[in-house]
């Protein structure tokens, strides 16, 4: 459109045309009638798998710390019991083995009670602290696990330009409208985040010719479409709002104006009319009305309604508990494997047992 007006094949051009210094060298712009920023559009994050939800409440470091705590408290109790037994000259059978103490500490952790016959006060003091520790860990685990299972969790969305760079490691790529102001911004940037993203825009897959195709490209592959926020929101509404995610970061603010021929006498008339329209708030009212109209259409079709309902708390299903069944089956398999190994070992020992000589 800029070229058509610059060649005087048209008197003016009205569209989402950004006012830039480079364009002002060949055409004139009216005063800005609308200002907005840019945003990144990506596919709506998928819901995370519940396969191992039983492990979700704690990080790997926390699980490792809990395991070390069980081993550590078992060693401490064993040593205290051993020293007390030696000091009081009790029988050897009265001192619990490290294996028995460890198993009982594990029982405490999973809220199965304690079967240790503890009468010595040093052991009681240690156990009181251990019981409080187990109670605290169990309360945190059970509460967090309920939230993890009942409330859907989603993958990390692409919220910022830094997220776009991070996502390229997983096969994502930026998409812009060819020869647009945003494309120009990435090309001329010599440093910072704009420069790094601009270096990724090198082939045809990184370009589209219009906002509808840009938003649609998000659903066709791992594209992160970067464009003006308003036009992106409108296209998301048209193509199905629940399918997309728009980043919260706003960047590259830009203003729109009407393109006029260089030195056109009618530009001043447009400026006065646009000034009255902007001051009356008609542009903002149009934007709000159009978004509401599109939003009502999407809600009546059920798209937005289903998206909102799908993100709320839900009943626990077998899909949520498949991780616990996996642990259960692994325990049974380990028990069976241990049984087979014992049978093999016992069988090999019996086969080499020396025969007893007959009595005379």
What is the DSSP track for 270-331?
HHHHHHHHHHTTHHHHHHHHHHHHHHHHHHHHTHHHHHHHHTS-----HHHHHHHHHHHHHH
Closest to 286 in 3D by CA, of 308, 263, 306, 256: 256
Distance in angstroms (rounded) separating the CA atoms of residues 346 and 119:
39
Torsion-angle region of residue 263: left (phi > 0), alpha (psi -120 to 50) or beta? left
Do the Cβ atoms of 116 and 96 come closer than 8 Å?
Answer: yes
CA-angle at 77, arms to 73 and 78, nearest 5°: 115
Per-residue pLDDT of the chain in tens (360 residues, 90 and over written 9): 888 999 989 999 998 888 888 899 999 999 999 988 999 999 998 877 776 777 788 888 999 999 999 999 999 988 888 887 765 555 555 567 888 888 888 888 888 877 776 767 788 888 889 889 988 898 888 888 887 777 777 788 899 999 999 999 989 999 999 988 899 999 999 999 999 999 999 999 999 999 999 999 999 989 999 999 988 988 998 898 889 999 999 898 889 999 999 999 999 999 999 999 999 999 889 888 888 887 776 554 444 344 444 555 667 777 777 777 887 888 888 888 888 888 888 877 666 556 555 554
pTM: 0.62
Report how far apart the first and last C-alpha atoms of the chain are (Å, whole number).
Answer: 119
Token pair in block for residue 292: 């509401």
Strand partners, 225: 41, 175
């Amino acid at each position: 459109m800029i070229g058509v007006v610059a060649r005087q094949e048209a008197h003016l051009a009205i569209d989402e045309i950004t006012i830039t210094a480079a364009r002002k060298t060949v055409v004139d712009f009216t005063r800005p009638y609308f200002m907005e920023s840019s945003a990144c559009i990506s596919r709506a994050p998928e819901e995370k798998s519940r396969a191992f939800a039983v492990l979700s409440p704690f990080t790997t470091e926390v699980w490792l710390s809990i395991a070390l705590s069980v081993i550590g408290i078992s060693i401490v109790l064993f040593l205290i019991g051993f020293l007390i037994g030696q000091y009081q000259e009790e029988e050897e059978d009265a001192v619990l083995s490290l294996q028995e103490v460890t198993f009982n500490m594990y029982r405490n952790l999973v809220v199965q009670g304690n079967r240790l016959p503890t009468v010595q006060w040093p052991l009681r003091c240690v156990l009181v602290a251990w019981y409080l520790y187990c109670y605290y860990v169990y309360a945190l685990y059970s509460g967090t696990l309920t939230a993890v299972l009942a409330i859907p969790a989603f993958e990390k969305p692409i919220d910022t330009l830094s997220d776009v760079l991070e996502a390229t490691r997983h096969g994502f790529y930026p998409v812009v409208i060819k020869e647009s102001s945003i494309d120009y911004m990435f090309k001329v940037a010599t440093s910072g985040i704009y420069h790094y993203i601009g270096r990724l825009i090198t082939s045809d897959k990184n370009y589209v010719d219009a906002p509808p195709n840009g938003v649609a490209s998000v659903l066709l592959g791992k594209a992160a479409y970067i464009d003006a926020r308003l036009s992106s929101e409108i296209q998301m509404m048209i193509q199905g709002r629940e399918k997309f995610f728009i980043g919260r970061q706003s960047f590259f603010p830009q203003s729109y104006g009407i393109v006029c021929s260089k030195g056109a006498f009618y530009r001043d008339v447009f400026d006065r009319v646009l000034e009255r329209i902007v001051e009356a708030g008609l542009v903002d009212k149009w934007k709000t009305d159009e978004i509401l109209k599109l939003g009502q259409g999407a809600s009546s079709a059920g798209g937005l309604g289903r998206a909102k309902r799908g993100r709320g708390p839900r009943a626990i299903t077998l899909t949520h508990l498949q991780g616990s069944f996996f642990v259960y089956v692994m325990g049974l398999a380990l028990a069976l494997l241990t049984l087979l190994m014992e049978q093999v070992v016992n069988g090999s020992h019996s086969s080499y047992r020396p025969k007893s000589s007959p009595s005379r």
